[in-house]
Structure 1
Amino acid sequence: MLDWAPILIGLFLFVLLSPGVLFQIPGCTRPVEFGNFTTNGKAIMIHTLIFFGIFTILIMALRLHIYMG
């Protein structure tokens, strides 16, 4: 059976944590901006670290698995 958890969780977190879609830390003019659809280098780096941290906790620490088939 195939473990779909890394694929589905990665896709969900990518969409959720894309800088500028829902929120952006740090924003262009404020520390946190919501729904501005713009980004900068600092925001990309911070959102990458947040993605890696949440993904690692869900997959490695909690041993989350989704089996289909």
Structure 2
Amino acid sequence: MQDWAGVFIPLVLFILLSPGLLFQIPGKCSVIEFGNSHTSAVSIIVHAVIFFCFAAVFLVAIGVHIDLGS
């Protein structure tokens, strides 16, 4: 069996943690802004660190496995 967690979890995290899509940390006017569709270099770095932390927690610490097929 193949483990698909290494594909699906980063894909979902990338979509959810794209700066400016759902939220942006730090925002231009406040600490967090929702749905502004703008980004900056600092917010890209912050979202990349958050992405790495969540991916490490789900894939290494918890050990999520997704097996497809019969």
Any unmatched runs of 5+ in structure 2? Answer: none
**Deviation per CA, 1:8-58, whole angstroms, max 9, x where unpaired?**
000000000000000000011211100000000000000000000000000
**TM-score, length basis structure 2:** 0.95
Matches for 1:1-69 after TM superposition, within 5 Å:
1-69=1-69
| Percent identity of paired positions between Structure 1 and Structure 2 | 48
**TM-score, length basis structure 1:** 0.96
Q: CA RMSD in A?
A: 0.6
Any unmatched runs of 5+ in structure 1? Answer: none
Higher strand share: 1
